[in-house]
Amino acid sequence: MLFLCASAALQYFDPMALFSTRNSSSVWVLAFLGAAGAALSAQACGGDDGGSSETSGTPTSTTSSQGGAGPSTGGNGNTGGDGGSTSSNSGGGGGGVGGGSSQVDCGLEAQGPVPDLQLTPISTNLDRPVFVTAAPGDNERLFVVEQEGRVRVIVNGVLQGAPFIDISALTDQPGQVDEFGLLSMVFHPDYATNGRFFLFYSDSDASVVSEFARSANDPNVASPGVVQTILNFPGAVGQHYGAMMAFAEDGYLFVSSGDRGDSSTSQDIDDIHGKLLRLDVDDVDTAPPGNLPGGHPLVWNYGLRNSWRFSIDRCTQDLYISDVGGNWEEVNIEPPNTGHRNYGWPIADQGTECTTGTCAVVAHNHNSGDCSIVGGYVYRGTGIPNMNGRYIYGDSCSLRIRSFRWGGGDTVALEEELTDNLNSDGTLQYMTSFGEDNVGNLYVLDLAGGLYRIDAQQ
Strand partners, 129: 146
Domain ranges of the chain: 21-456
* 270: Cβ contacts below 8 Å, ≥ 6 apart: 20, 295, 296
Number of C-beta neighbours around residue 127 at 10 A: 14
- Strand 206-214 to strand 222-234: parallel, antiparallel, or no bridges (unpaired)? antiparallel
CB 109 within 8 A of CB 405: yes
Per-residue pLDDT at 204: 72
Mean pLDDT of 426-432: 97
CA distance 359 to 161: 46
Largest CA distance in the chain: 59
**141: pLDDT strictly greater than 50:** yes
End-to-end CA separation in angstroms for the chain: 34
Whether the CB-CB separation of 210 and 152 falls below 8 Å is answered with no
Contacts of 97 by beta carbon, 8 Å cutoff, 6+ apart: 70, 73, 134, 139, 140, 141, 142, 154, 156, 437, 438, 439, 441
pLDDT of res. 105: 79
| Contact yes or no for 70/274 (Cβ under 8 A) | no
* Higher pLDDT, residue 247 or 37: 247
CA 74 to chain centre: 25
Give the other-Cβ count within 10 Å of 228's Cβ.
14
Confidence band for 260, pLDDT divided at 50, 70 and 90:
confident
Provide the CB-side half-sphere exposure for 196 (13 A, CA): 14
308-353, pLDDT tens digit by residue? 999 999 999 999 999 998 899 999 999 999 999 999 999 988 889 8
This prediction's pTM: 0.81
| pLDDT tens for each residue of 170-220 | 987 776 556 788 999 999 999 999 999 999 998 777 779 999 999 999 999
Query: How far apart are alpha carbons 328 and 310 in whole angstroms?
Result: 16
Give 451's pLDDT tier (boundaries 50, 70, 90). Answer: very high
Mean pLDDT of 435-452: 97
Beta strands 28-29; 222-234: pairing state = parallel
How far apart (Å, rounded) are the C-alpha atoms in residues 251 and 245?
Answer: 12
Q: What is the pLDDT of residues 53-81, one digit of tens each?
A: 333 333 333 333 333 333 333 333 333 34
Q: What is the mean pLDDT of the chain?
A: 80
How many residues are present in the chain?
Answer: 458
Which of these, 166, 154, 174, lies nearest to 79 by C-alpha position? 154
Architecture of domain 21-456: 6 Propeller (2.120)
The mean pLDDT of 366-370, rounded to a whole number, is: 92
Question: What amino acid occupies position 64?
Answer: S
DSSP-assigned letter for residue 342: B
Rg (CA), the chain: 20
**Residue 330: predicted pLDDT:** 97
Pick from 224, 420, 247, 265: which is nearest to 336 by CA?
247
Q: How confident is the model at residue 13 (pLDDT cuts 50, 70, 90)?
A: very low
Q: What is the DSSP letter of 280?
A: -
Lowest mean pLDDT among 229-243, 314-328, 354-368, 382-396: 229-243
For residue 7, count other CB atoms closer than 10 A to its CB: 19
Say if residues 4 and 39 touch (Cβ distance below 8 Å). yes
The H or E element containing residue 184 is strand 181-187
- DSSP code at position 419: H
